[in-house]
Amino acid sequence: TLFYGIILSSFSASLMISSPIFGFLVDKPSPPYPSMKVLIMIGLVISASGHFLYFIAWDTWVVLIARILGGTG
């Protein structure tokens, strides 16, 4: 159905939105912006939480949220 297509495309859509933001922050100098190590750790935590939420998903809406988190990280 349509909702499953949205679930499948949500990973790519969130990756398309978050990648330029993380890339912009990585290219900036460290003092006013977070360092590259901090951004990598934030991305790993977001991705891991999305994958864990995908593992324990109890509803299709939780799967959608998990896919969005996984794509963002």
SS3 readout for the chain: CHHHHHHHHHHHHHHHHHHHHHHHHHHCCCCCCCCHHHHHHHHHHHHHHHHHHHHCCCCHHHHHHHHHHHHHC
pLDDT at 17: 94
Amino acid at 28: K
pTM of the model: 0.86
How many whole angstroms separate alpha carbon 16 and alpha carbon 69?
12
pLDDT at 22: 87
**Average model confidence (pLDDT) across the chain:** 89
What pLDDT tens digit does each residue of the chain (73 aa) get?
Answer: 788 999 999 999 999 999 998 888 888 777 777 788 888 899 999 999 999 999 999 998 999 999 999 999 8
